[in-house]
A and B are shown apart, each in its own frame.
Chain A
Amino acid sequence: MKNTVNVQRAIHKMTQADLSEAIGVSRQTINSIEKNRYVPSTVLALKIARLFKVAVEDIFELDEKE
């Protein structure tokens, strides 16, 4: 699954630490999500989308292989 968390973060001028604090996870988790090493749970994906005021599909997208 691909995501544009880093893009959204840049738009909102947030650091990984800011985002991690806002949604209650560690900075390493944000880093792993951005590098596509970790697929967040639905709850976490919804929290991220709500924070950036966009739909989940605008941030997270299925890979062609999936």
Chain B
Amino acid sequence: MRSNFLKNFCEFEKKGGTFPLISYQFKWIGWAIAISAVAALISVKILDSSQAAFYKQLFMHALLIGLFMIVITKDKDEDERINELRYRAFSFAFVLGTAMVLLMPLAAMVLDALAGRLPLEWEQDQSVFFIMSSFLFYYLMYFQIFKRQL
């Protein structure tokens, strides 16, 4: 069963199968979720509710869901060029996102050392939100740049 799945998957890729994406209409839903989540995050900060921490996490998660929905929706004019640009944007976002996650603690350490803040501490304070949003933003940024330039 497992080998059949892999075989079918490889056959799909061999035929130049496109990345499985959802309908273009979902892009607007994604934007609506993301924008509402940002507005909700701002209001949580202003209102200072007793459950602020919970709502903050909830709306940050909603923001990630909105961004992810935008990322996995088809483009208005979906064709082989857009598909290729999408793969390129995924690659760039992955490499840049990973490099940032790996280099950030080292950069923070060097800055601490230069500022004389001793003893040095390993600041790996990179939440799921930080990492995920970096990857999603980088992807959206590269995809838009490639679409305009290529």
Q: A32-B150, A37-B150, A38-B150 are in contact. Are A24 and B16 (CB under 8 A)?
A: no
A25 within 8 Å of B by Cβ? yes
Least CB distance, A56 to chain B, in whole angstroms: 16
Give the A interface residue count (CB, 8 A): 13
The reply on A29 being an interface residue by CB < 8 A is yes
Known: A37-B150, A38-B150. A26 touches B16 (CB 8 A): no
Interface residue ranges of B83-97 to A (CB < 8 Å) = 84
B residues 124-150 touching A (CB-CB < 8 Å):
147, 149-150
Chain B residues with a Cβ under 8 A of chain A? 16, 77, 79-82, 84, 147, 149-150
Which residues of A are in contact with B by a Cβ distance under 8 Å? 24-29, 32, 37-38, 40-41, 43-44
